[in-house]
């Protein structure tokens, strides 16, 4: 594939970016972008790569696009009975465990089943939970979370320090097609 100025301009227009906005996003002057698009200069490879990175990045879905908002949390002192009822009622297989504003673990169906016994209903979540789910920013591309979901049941999505959503394997499956 040959990258020409007109091809870059077409990509920029498809991304609905002005030359000024592309210049801001790449750190390249607007005048230089205009010259590249008109074929007046022969830019460095690094300049082309910066432009292509910005123009192609916008095509990938972001975590905010596929996440399930309104995460339900468990607390470390909740009973397993309470949490299992929530899981059944909402048809979910895991809950992040929040202590104050900090995610301290995850309780899953697997965790509960592993410890299944006569006293499990009264057991506290903190005694059954596993490690916390990974946390990513809401503008993270879904290609970044694919490998995480191969090893974990979910990924928490944050806006700043606040958890605003969760992505599970089934959310990723919904992106097919």
Domain boundaries, the chain: 5-57, 63-173
pTM for the model stands at 0.66
CB-based contact 28:44 (threshold 8 Å): no
Region of 95 please: left (phi>0), alpha (psi -120 to 50) or beta.
Answer: beta
Among candidate residues 121, 149, 117, the one with its CA nearest the CA of residue 136 = 149
In the prediction, which pLDDT does 58 show?
59
What class has domain 63-173? alpha beta
Among candidate residues 109, 103, 89, the one with its CA nearest the CA of residue 156 = 103
What class has domain 5-57? mainly alpha
Distance CA 51, CA 120 (A): 56
Distance CA 164, CA 158 (A): 5
Q: Which two tokens stand for residue 163?
A: 């958890």
Distance CA 145, CA 164 (A): 16
Q: What is the pLDDT of residues 63-119, one digit of tens each?
A: 998 999 999 999 999 999 999 999 999 999 999 999 998 999 999 999 999 988 878
In the prediction, which pLDDT does 15 show?
81
In the prediction, which pLDDT does 103 show?
94
Region of 44 please: left (phi>0), alpha (psi -120 to 50) or beta.
Answer: beta
pLDDT band at 177 (very low <50, low <70, confident <90, very high): low
Among candidate residues 142, 165, 168, the one with its CA nearest the CA of residue 68 = 165
Tally Cβ neighbours within 10 Å of residue 65: 13
pLDDT band at 172 (very low <50, low <70, confident <90, very high): confident
3-class DSSP state for residue 159? strand
Among candidate residues 126, 118, 117, 110, the one with its CA nearest the CA of residue 78 = 126
Distance CA 23, CA 17 (A): 10
């Amino acid at each position: 594939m040959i990258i020409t100025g007109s091809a870059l301009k077409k990509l920029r227009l498809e991304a609905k970016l002005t030359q000024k906005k592309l210049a801001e996003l790449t750190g390249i002057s607007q005048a230089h972008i205009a010259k590249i698009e008109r074929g007046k200069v022969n830019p460095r490879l690094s300049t082309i790569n910066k432009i292509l990175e910005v123009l192609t990045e916008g095509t990938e879905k972001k975590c905010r696009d596929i996440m399930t908002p309104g995460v339900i949390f468990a607390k470390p002192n909740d009973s397993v009975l309470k949490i299992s009822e929530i899981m059944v009622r909402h048809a979910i297989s895991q809950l992040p465990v929040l202590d104050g504003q900090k995610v301290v673990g995850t309780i899953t169906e697997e965790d509960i089943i592993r410890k299944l016994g006569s006293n499990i209903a009264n057991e506290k979540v903190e005694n059954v939970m596993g490690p916390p789910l990974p946390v990513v920013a809401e503008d993270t591309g879904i290609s970044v979370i694919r490998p995480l979901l191969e090893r974990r049941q979910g990924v928490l999505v944050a806006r700043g320090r606040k958890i605003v959503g969760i992505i599970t394997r089934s959310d990723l499956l919904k992106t097919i097609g």
